Amino acid sequence: MADSMADLFRRLTAGVYVIGVAHGGLRNAFTASSVMLVSFRPLMVALGINPTHASYPILNSGRVFAINVLRAEHLALARHFGTQSGRSVDKLSSVAWRAGRSGAPLLLDALAYFDCQVDSEIEAGDHRLVVGRVVDGAVLCPDAEQLIYAATGDLDRSADLYAKDFNSWK
Ligand SMILES: Cc1cc2nc3c(=O)[nH]c(=O)nc-3n(C[C@H](O)[C@H](O)[C@H](O)COP(=O)(O)O)c2cc1C
């Protein structure tokens, strides 16, 4: 039953991104699929983050983040940043990156990036919806294809997280 709920929600088409966060000398990054454009004027995007992630207190204090758009061949990068925590490994030490205008880490190999300053945050169940104002960005590989969330299978192990039905949760 949980598998069919996961199957349903994976029909929401999403990309796969590495979200870089920074506060002072602290930096980390995690994989995210819950990312969307929310406003044209001003340019604003939103992301959903689990507040138990190591990235969350850095994001909350530093109030900046970068959205690094992964390419179709970047499944290993999605795994690297999405299946281990910054609490146990320095995930940025093995990839090439630079600090963006906001200070948040930008992956040099990404398809594109958006550099953002946090505007607001909304508590949303077990996640936080963080809205950011886009202060910089660029397409780095115009001919590359984006990695699509559906192509990552259960890499995020979310199949076990879905409620069994619409009226209950585990
Ligand atoms: C494909 C994929 C998509 C993910 N999407 C999200 C997401 O949208 N939001 C989120 O909070 N975590 C998401 N995660 C989970 C985090 O990337 C993962 O828990 C990570 O280890 C957290 O790292 P940190 O503790 O260093 O911050 C995703 C993981 C994968 C593999």
Q: Please check whether residue 128 lies inside any domain of the structure.
A: yes
**Range of 104's domain?**
5-160
Q: Is residue 42 part of a domain?
A: yes
Residue 43, number of CB atoms within 10 A of its CB:
15
Q: Is residue 165 part of a domain?
A: no
Ligand 1 atom with the smallest distance to the CA of 83 is 21
Q: What is the pLDDT of residue 168?
A: 77
Tell me if 133 is assigned to some domain: yes
> What token pair was written down for 25?
């000398």
Q: Which residue has the tokens 């929310």?
A: 38
For ligand 1, atom 18: residue with the closest CA: 82
Q: Is 168 domain-assigned?
A: no
Residue nearest to atom 10 of ligand 1 (CA): 49
> What total number of domains does the chain contain?
1
- For residue 139, tell me if it sits in a domain: yes
The CATH number for 76's domain is: 2.30.110.10
pLDDT tens per residue, range 103-158: 999 999 999 999 999 999 999 999 999 999 999 999 999 999 999 999 999 999 99
Distance from C-alpha of 134 to C-alpha of 145, rounded to nearest angstrom: 22
Tell me, yes or no, whether 95 lies in a domain: yes
Task: Summarize pLDDT for 54-101 with one digit per residue, the tens.
Answer: 999 999 999 999 999 999 999 999 999 999 999 999 999 999 999 999
List ligand 1's pocket residues with C-beta within 6 A. Answer: 16, 28, 30-34, 48-50, 53-55, 78, 82-86, 152, 155-156
